Chains A and B, each alone.
Chain A
Amino acid sequence: MNKSIFAAAALAMATLAGAAQVITVKGSDTMVILAQRWAEKYMATHPDVSVQVTGGGSGTGISALINGTTDICDASRKMKASEREKLKQRFNSLGVEVPSARDGLAVYLNEASPVSELSLDQVKAIYTGKLTNWKDVGGPDAKIVLYGRENNSGTYVYFRDNVLKGQDFAPGVQSLPGTAAVVNAVSKDKLGIGFGGAAYAKGLKFAKIKKDEGSTAYEPTAETVKNGSYPITRYLYMYLKSRPTGALKEYIDWTLSPEGQVIVTEVGYFPVK
């Protein structure tokens, strides 16, 4: 709803401004708030440019880029080889990848949980169903209640590929629609564990994550995500057909400038620079 109102407003502004330059942005729902903030702030200072933002998911955005119906595609995952191939067939270009923000994927624990740090291997063992009792990771003798995301979510795929190393989630993982639902569930369940963006935490704690048994455990904070010491970190990307020029280049440069990156922090992600 908001999106369409915004798009309509942007369109109206574009018509008012006459020969305004229009930049269309489409893609990841994870990034849609960030993209809108960027667009609002940018249009406030650049009345001659109109930025139109729509969501729909990373996959939708990439298809739009391949079909040539959007200038910028937001994606919370890397473009797949098959998608790059399609883009090449169509535009003879592999696309241009602009990492525009960082996102730390936190492992949520209930506030009452005595466990505070986990290694990546432990997280993997818990989510693949090899560890089922909290006492195996230094907690009470009780079953671990697993919460995760639905399998159509980018976070699901990222977690499976990067934390579970491609293995399947245990069948007992309760899939909830949206990170907010996971946060809600873990905050109410003393034995629960969940995962999701680090920006969402309310009423629960983040597990400190260590790369392996020997290394130090880090909590996802601006500092640890930025310097790469927090191990579950991903980029949020903008994809373009070719190297940007003109108004598009100015806009991309602006989002990567300190001014643009401040907005990244405001929205709850972490700056790339």
Chain B
Amino acid sequence: MKIAEASDKPEVKGIPMSTRLPRRPEPPAEKSGETGSNGSAPYGAGPSSSAIPSVSGTSGPSAGTASTTATVEPPILPPPSRKVLTMKKPMRAGEFAIEKSIQGVAFISLLFIALIFIFIFREAIPLFFSEVKAAMHQSQVEEAETYGVDPTAPEIVEAPELEQNQDNFHPKTLVSKNWQPVSLNPQYGIVPLLMGSLKVTLVALLLAAPIGIFAALYTSNFAPKWAKESMKPIIEVLAGFPSVVIGFFALVIMATLLQNLFGYQFRLNAFVGGVAMALAVIPIIYTVSEDALNAVPKVMTEASLALGATKWETAFFVILPSATPGIFAAMILGFGRAFGETMIVLMATGNAALLTIALTDPVRTLSATIGAEMAEVVFGDTHYRVLFFVGALLFVISFSLNAIAEFFIRNRMMKKFKGI
């Protein structure tokens, strides 16, 4: 960006003629690209690099080499700052390519998001529009013949194959309170799953928000320089912690510890999951609120201190309220993370689709349900579609939460400070 701007600035015109000359014929060289650059080399490089013509002549393919040799020439060597400019300028062809490819990459990531969006919805939507699926044709097929069976061995009597009622899906069942997808009478009530996700998220936020926000307040206002410099990276490392490790830790150690501490009945439950989730959410809330607190203009702190407020009063009554929108954004982002996180809840919450209020009951979350069931589901089945619907729901929720955090709250905060 900067380089491109610099090349358009007027001071470029101050560069001695001999170094500017090779630039003039550049456009045709750029257009002809890799194939034609050799032809332009003697044309552009000729006048300036007469001291070492052989070098510029043979290493012609890139225009960059030609003018690098030009700047080496002592009499017309520009001052150091200009030298940087002249060295960068010949890179324009490459620059252009780099800029375009970066742009391409940026658009590809956008494209991916759009494609994921389309794919998830495309898989989920037939749930509501396709006609009732015909029950699978179950004609009486003969048994397979057996081989190598010992006739003297006692027979194992297995239950006859039970038939599944496939054809009773109605969108209304999505709001029932039973999640029994692998059943002879499948029920796809996602209410208990939604409740489970909310319970875990609530616990996680209740724990992570105060810790994250106060830690951010400490580092941005009170911490000595060394603490500031070490605390931030350390907490941020926690964000890169693999969630499966946190989940395993919760499953094996935290669950027993917390059960012994509080004496509730179920070892794995929403509370354990929420506590483990808090570990994953703290760094997010911390980082974003720290940025928000740091964005509060120094003038406000100084004004507050000048008016006689103590450091604590300044932090709590001036800086914290000013950063509220940013902190709110941090909490929303934390909420989104907790809502969508899969591995921790899969391991630590017990995965029972119960619709209860108590935080110490096992729960099954939306994300864990997809994680646990997607692998074995029949392609194109109702169960498959319902899981995609759950995925779409998660997508919409986290997408809108992130959008709210990004567009509304941050913008509001920025506007607030613009006048200062």
Chain A residues at the B interface, C-beta cutoff of 8 Å: 57, 59, 78-82, 84-85, 88, 94-100, 102, 143, 145-146, 150-152, 156-157, 160-162, 165-166, 168-169, 171-177, 181, 184-185, 188-189, 191, 226-228, 233-235, 239-240, 243-244, 252-253, 256, 272-273
Contact = CB atoms under 8 A, between A and B. Distances in A.
A235 B146 CA distance: 13
B227 to A, nearest CB: 39
A175 B350 CA distance: 6
B11 interface: no
B143 interface: yes
Given A84-B144, A99-B146, A253-B148, A174 B352 contact: yes
Contact of B161 (A78, A96, A146, A151): A78
Nearest to B363: A174
Given A150-B351, A168-B180, A240 B147 contact: yes
Contacts of A273: 150, 153
A171 B176 CA distance: 13
Interface of B: 136, 138-150, 153-156, 158-159, 161-162, 178-185, 192, 251-252, 256, 265-268, 346-347, 350-355, 362, 364, 372-373, 375-377
Nearest to B372: A150
Contacts of B155: 228
A220 B253 CA distance: 31
A173 B183 CA distance: 14
A108 to B, nearest CB: 15
A157 B143 CA distance: 20
A31 B180 CA distance: 27
Nearest to A271: B153
B266 to A, nearest CB: 6
Contacts of A78: 158, 161
A153 to B, nearest CB: 8
Contacts of B145: 94-97, 243
B156 A256 contact: no
Contacts of B142: 84, 94
Nearest to A273: B150
A177 B376 contact: no
A165 B138 contact: no
Nearest to B375: A152
B188 to A, nearest CB: 12
Contacts of B352: 146, 171-175
Contact of B147 (A97, A146, A234): A97
A35 to B, nearest CB: 16
Contacts of A162: 158-159
A188 B256 contact: yes
Contacts of B162: 161, 166
B153 A272 contact: yes
Contacts of B354: 171-172
B289 to A, nearest CB: 35
Nearest to B192: A171
A256 B179 CA distance: 42
A244 B147 CA distance: 9
Contact of A174 (B148, B154, B350, B373): B350
- 5 smallest CB-CB distances across A and B, nearest first, come from A228-B154, A152-B376, A151-B182, A174-B350, A95-B144
A80 B159 CA distance: 12
B353 A171 contact: yes
B266 A234 contact: no
Given A174-B362, A176-B351, A177-B346, A79 B144 contact: yes
B147 A94 contact: no
B103 to A, nearest CB: 39
20 contacts: A57-B376, A80-B161, A81-B138, A82-B141, A97-B144, A97-B147, A143-B265, A145-B267, A150-B373, A152-B182, A152-B375, A168-B184, A171-B355, A173-B352, A175-B352, A176-B351, A188-B267, A228-B156, A243-B147, A273-B150
B28 to A, nearest CB: 55
A24 to B, nearest CB: 18
A150 to B, nearest CB: 5
A78 B144 CA distance: 10
B143 A94 contact: yes
A100 B153 CA distance: 12
A174 B351 contact: yes
B268 A171 contact: no
A98 B373 contact: no
Contact of A166 (B184, B265, B355): B184
Given A152-B377, A174-B350, A253-B148, 20 more contacts: A81-B140, A82-B138, A84-B142, A94-B144, A99-B149, A146-B352, A151-B182, A152-B182, A160-B182, A161-B158, A166-B159, A171-B178, A171-B179, A171-B354, A171-B355, A174-B268, A174-B351, A176-B351, A234-B156, A235-B156
Nearest to B376: A152
A99 B267 CA distance: 39
